[in-house]
Structure 1
Amino acid sequence: MLEPDSSQRFNTDVLVIGSGIAGLRAAIAARQCKAEVVLLSESPAGFRSNSAISRAVFATAGFRPDTGDSPEAHLEDIISGGRLLSDRRLVAVMTQAVSRQVDDLQGYGVNFVRVESKLHVGRAPGHSLPRHLSVIKNQGINITRPMRHYAAGTGIRFIEGVQVTRLLRDGNQIVGALGLDIHGRIYIIAAGATVLATGGAGRIYRRTNNAVGSTGDGYALAYDAGAVLRDMEFVQFYPTGWGEDGSKMCFYEGLLPIGATIRNSPGEDVMVKHDLGDYTMVTRDKLARMIMKEIAEGHGTDGNLVFDFSTVPGDKTQLLQAVKRMSHITGQDSVPVSPTVHFLMGGIKIDESTGAGIRGLYAAGEVCGGIHGANRLGGNAISETLVFGEIAGNQAAAFAGKRSVIVPESDAVTGINNLNGLIPGNRTGSLERLWLSLRKVMWEKAGVIRDEAGLETALGEITSLREQLDLTSITDSTELYQAAKLAKALTVAEMICRAAMMRTESRGAHYRSDHPEEDTQHWLKNIEISRRDNEMTLTAVPVAV
């Protein structure tokens, strides 16, 4: 059994949870405000996160003045791409501030792709103008690694290999966090302010290209602490995933423009078949839905369509080889593809200052909702992490000041008792089997194509898995670590399914086969989720215009 007296204890001004781009940017900003900063993460800081494995492309107006692009044009593209559900105030903050992040990144040692000494500016589908900058080799690690190195040089303290199991409260204020490592050690970190930057939850699905560990911890932590979440029904599926369980991305944004084709089992070009010829306007939600419909109608092979590269003309061979390298494809003239979970648009409801509605708690990055609405346009994820990461760090440092914070022992003990409650069970079970069952039902019943019956099945399975987890006997610290993560993942899965059940229309990445049309008359609303009297409560709130 875990005991409070054996815990490792730390005190800091600002605690940042998560070490992707958002977490690193928040930590650096807070440290530049002279705050003492602890950055805590499950993975080695800057590594094995969605940021680190990203393509390192982000959208920002201002680097192609000849096109007439502007922050306002960027904002309108986001609002349109998000099917009118984005928080316009948050989007305005991001589009106005993101260009200033380029100089900061270069100051951290990040190198961008250049053509004749000028920054190369590209364009992604759904964006009306070219506004995308790329980091060398299109690898996110070439952002996070220099950021980590810079952060370490400023005196930020890293605590790695620890998952947070509870945000600690003193009355109506968050005052730190309780953590657990794989060896069963308890960590109690007292903090004047806390920033959640824990990323997404793709790993609760069977097919995903998300990093290991991306199971939604931050959503569940915020929910348990009393924060409001929004838009959790909107899960983005990258249309052309490939490899084992969709772990890789076949870069359709680069392949379609040079003549590659996506074909079904009869050999039809599905872009032509579905009249999606203008690739610049084919957003991820539209293409993912089209591919899954083809597969569902029996026009796939082993659950996939085929991305055919043989149609690329000879004068595009060099470009083809470059895109194939980015997609980790070697040699093949075609690869089997189908959608894979890529990103969650929903998350913690924040204000323009990244406040999460509870004193002392801030949030940044994918763990937040509101910026992308019903669908995220390519390149906006890193833009979001940079802008709101900096804001969160600044705001957390200002709130923390130099105030002395003491974690109430009773709240820490409650968190430890909750972990101890996972240990006893009256039968032997397999946590791996429970994880597999969750991922399977989420993919099959809460995936690209949804309906009421499937979502009800998923919710029933989630309830059953929670009961089975309670009965499973935990025999060592590794199993306890996984059980704690699974408990949070089940909460996140329930949020997604319940919000998807409530939204009786199709919009953006949320497609209901039993409600296939967008219904703006009744559903120009955001679904907010909160915990009231220990019950999950959903409320539909009209979009703020």
Structure 2
Amino acid sequence: MRQTDVLIIGSGVAAFQLANKLRHDINVIIITKSMITETNSYLAQGGIAAALSDQDNSAKHFKDTLEAGRYHNDPEAVKTLTSEAPALIKALQQQGCLFDKDKQGQLLLGLEGAHSEKRIVHGGGDATGKTLMDFLIAYTSSHVEILENYYVYELLVKNNRCVGVKAKGSDQQVEIFAARHIILATGGCGQLYRYSSNAETATGDGIALAYLAGADITDMEFIQFHPTLLYANGKTHGLVSEAVRGEGGRLITADGNELMRDVHPLSDLAPRHIVSQTIYQSLSRGEQVYLDITHVKNFTARFPTIAQLCRKNHIDLTSKQIPVVPGSHFLMGGIKTDVIGQSSLPGLYALGETACTGVHGANRLASNSLLEGLFAGKKLAEWLNKQDYTWDLPHDIEGKSKKSELACLPNLHDIKHSMMERVGIVRSHNGLLAQKNWLNSFQLEEYRHVNLDAATTETITRFFMLVTAALITNGALQRTESRGGHYRVDFPCEDNNNWRQHQLIQRLGRRLEKQDEQTKIKTAT
């Protein structure tokens, strides 16, 4: 068993921001199931939102975030995030992070959907995630140990506190890590869907881990579908950033009609859920949708990553039309935490996309995700830097022996296709109920005492995907309204009287354990 002060699971912007902001006398281990560059953070094209221009201010950023989130956000969390955004960018600049600048040496600010001002900071044109992550990784000090290709598959809980994890290295041998503070920064769950912009690693592991350990989960029905994924040969091949539309790109049908002109006042820069639903409706009618880049100046120079992606997939850029479809992009829900990342399970924290602080509400405002990672990592580091690290970890943290094993599970194709068709961009009671019944047929709740030690990481991944899929499906079935990233054709309007509250999901087994404890207390008294 290995011991450390702080154990971080995941290797995106939130993980490295946290690690870099911790005191150097605090021992830190970062565990990632793949390579540190195989994350959504590293793939991020768009940028980081911050009110930095003379025409902009944090109040406008605050308002735009609430509007995009359909006012399901936690206003105080949004206010704190947007007010601290400029300082976060300036601090990175002072440390040497290279963001794009104009000819006068000022930050080059872009415009994206649902933003009222130009406030998107970029790096490397459309390679902001890579620019930021390369800087944070290079900035990492020797007090941080990085372990790649370690798959965390169980959280260890003793005396109602998370004290460790089980993980498998590339040799599939089980290793135990104990820590005073355990942070899940595992990203989202985009790979649950057939079409997705997400890295292959984004399979919802952290949410499933937290749920099975007894932590509260919330707002899982809110999935953001990005309107424009490159579509070729029947498959998606990566993201075409919203910034392209910010620079003049227009969504059109095959006959040249502008798709968004009469749909929303912001036209092609309408909130993502509106654009995604509009494209989906066209695709349902058999109409292919294209992103027309005729009016984007110097497209290849401004968007080198996207241009290379198009060439790789044999898209002729001289036609000025890029075929696109919407796909899963970001999870607004997740592990319920407070603003610094503390979950309902002592000792366990969550940051970034795997957490739900209420910042994003029902739909994330463009380029608020990298910002959230920077903000959340800094906030939790400030709190952890003040904690006492002298107390000893408990012994025998493995807990009780588990007997049951995973039964036959569906393949990845069936999981992804069923989620896309039934719990995707447009949802209905019948489709959601069919998906719930299908998921229930695998008796997932009976696996709360499952022994995963002998299972392969591929099997565990499918199990975690099913657990997370069930959380999304149940949340979507219970929310009988349409709001943000959750659209139900049978309830197409927002219900501001009854359904603006957050849906809290507590693991069934955990609730039963709590009830048993309460019964014992009552009996004893």
Query: Structure 2-normalised TM-score?
Result: 0.88
Q: Are positions 1:322 and 2:302 aligned together?
A: yes
Match for 2:345: what amino acid? Answer: I
Q: Which amino acid aligns with 2:137?
A: R
Deviation track 1:345-368 (CA, whole Å, cap 9, x = no partner) reads 111111122211222222110011
Q: Which residue of the other structure, out of 498, 502, 505, is the alignment partner of 1:529?
A: 505
In the alignment, structure 1 residue 248 sits paired with structure 2 residue 238 = yes
Matched, 1:495 2:495: no
Q: Secondary structure, in 3 states, of the residue corresponding to 2:376?
A: helix
Superposed CA RMSD in Å reads: 2.7
Matched, 1:101 2:88: yes
1:269–1:56 Cα change, 3 Å? closer
Tell me, yes or no, if the aligned pair for 2:46 and 2:241 is still in contact at 8 Å. no
Equivalent residue for 2:411?
434
Whether contact under 8 Å (1:79, 1:88) holds in the other structure is yes
The whole-number CA distance in structure 2 between the counterparts of 1:365 and 1:451 is 29
1:291 to 279, 288, 304: 279
Report the Cα distance in structure 2 between the residues aligned to 1:267 and 1:131, rounded to whole angstroms: 30
Contact between 2:174 and 2:453, CA under 8 Å: does it hold in 1?
Answer: no
Counterparts of 1:500 and 1:517, CA distance in 2: 14
Q: Which amino acid is 1:58 matched to?
A: I
| 2:40 aligned with 1:50 | yes
The amino acid across from 2:405 in the alignment is G
5 Å-filtered alignment, 1:185-264, equals 185-243=173-231, 245-255=235-245, 257-258=247-248, 260-264=249-253
8 Å contact from structure 2 (residues 126, 304) kept in 1:
no
Cα offset for 1:280? 6.9
4+ runs deviating over 4 angstroms: 474-477
User: How far 1:502 sits from its partner (Å)?
Assistant: 0.5
Q: 1:76: which partner in 2?
A: 63
The partner residue of 1:28 within 12, 20, 26 is 20
The AA in structure 1 aligned to 2:74 is D
AA in 1 matched with 2:47: V
2:260 counterpart (254, 271, 284): 271
Deviation sequence 1:431-474 (CA, Å, 0-9, x none): 7x61111011000100000001111111122233567x99xxx9
* Shift, 1:239, TM fit: 0.5
- Where do 5+ consecutive residues of structure 2 fail to align? 513-525
- Give 1:248 shift: 1.4
Cα separation, partners in 2 of 1:400 and 1:238, compared to 1, 3 Å: farther
Paired amino acid for 2:257: E
How far apart, CA to CA, are the structure 2 residues paired with 1:440 and 1:248? Answer: 18
Equivalent residue letter for 1:175 = V
Instruction: Please give the alpha-carbon distance, in whole angstroms, between the structure 2 residues aligned to 1:404 and 1:108.
Output: 36
C-alpha distance in 2 between matches for 1:30 and 1:340: 36
| Distance (whole Å) between structure 2 residues aligned to residue 261 and residue 132 of structure 1 | 19
Contact 1:227 1:357 in 2 (8 A): yes
CA distance in 1, matches of 2:163, 2:30: 15
CA distance in 2, matches of 1:76, 1:528: 26
Shift of residue 119, structure 1, vs aligned partner: 1.4
Alpha-carbon distance between aligned partners in 1 of 2:304 and 2:289, rounded to the nearest angstrom: 17
* In structure 2, distance between residues paired with 1:174 and 1:476: 19
Q: Classify the secondary structure of the residue corresponding to 2:175.
A: strand
Cα separation, 2, equivalents of 1:101 and 1:257: 25
For residue 88 of structure 1, what is the aligned residue in structure 2?
A: 75
Aligned pair 1:13/2:1, yes or no?
no
* Deviation of the 1:476 alpha carbon: 12
Alignment check: 8 A CA contact 2:99 2:123 kept: yes
Instruction: Give me the whole-angstrom Cα distance separating, in 2, the residues matched to 1:475 and 1:125.
Output: 43
Conserved 8 A contact 1:16-1:23: yes
**Unmatched tracts of structure 1, length 5 or more:** 1-8, 537-545
The 1:224–1:506 alpha-carbon spacing in structure 2 relative to 1, beyond 3 Å, is same
Give the direction of change, closer, same or farther, for the CA distance of 1:324–1:160 in structure 2 (3 Å limit). Answer: closer
Hey, what does 1:519 align to over in structure 2?
A: 495
- Matched to 2:306, the amino acid is M
> Does the alignment pair 1:38 with 2:59?
no
- Supply the AA of the counterpart residue of 1:185: Q
User: Which residue type is aligned with residue 76 of structure 2?
Assistant: R
Say how many residue pairs are matched: 497
Query: TM-score, length-normalised on structure 1?
Result: 0.85
- Matching of residue 305 in structure 1 with residue 289 in structure 2: yes
Question: Residues 393 and 459 (structure 1 numbering): CA distance in 2 closer, same or farther, change over 3 Å?
Answer: same
The answer on 1:374 being equivalent to 2:351 is no
Is residue 443 of structure 2 the alignment partner of residue 452 of structure 1?
A: no
Q: Secondary structure of the residue that 2:200 maps to in structure 1?
A: coil
Counterpart-to-counterpart distance in 1, 2:176 and 2:95: 31
Question: Match for residue 135 of structure 2?
Answer: 146
C-alpha distance in structure 2 between counterparts of 1:518 and 1:323, whole Å: 37
Aligned partner of residue 51 in structure 1, secondary structure: helix
Identity, in percent, stands at: 28
Report the CA distance between 1:85 and its aligned residue.
0.5
Provide the rounded CA distance (Å) in 2 between the counterparts of 1:72 and 1:501: 35
Instruction: Output the CA distance in 2 between the equivalents of 1:95 and 1:407.
Output: 43
Does the aligned pair in 1 maintain the 2:126–2:303 contact within 8 Å? no
Matches within 5 A, 1:406-425: 406-411=394-399, 414=401, 417=402, 421-422=405-406
| C-alpha distance after superposition, 1:163-191 (max 9, x if no partner) | 21122122122112111234221121111
Query: How far 1:31 moved relative to its partner?
Result: 3.7
How much does 1:263 deviate?
A: 2.7
Matched letter for residue 94 of structure 1: L
Query: Residues 76-133 of structure 1: CA distance to partner in whole angstroms, max 9, x if unpaired?
Result: 2111110010111221221122222224434554211011221112222211222211
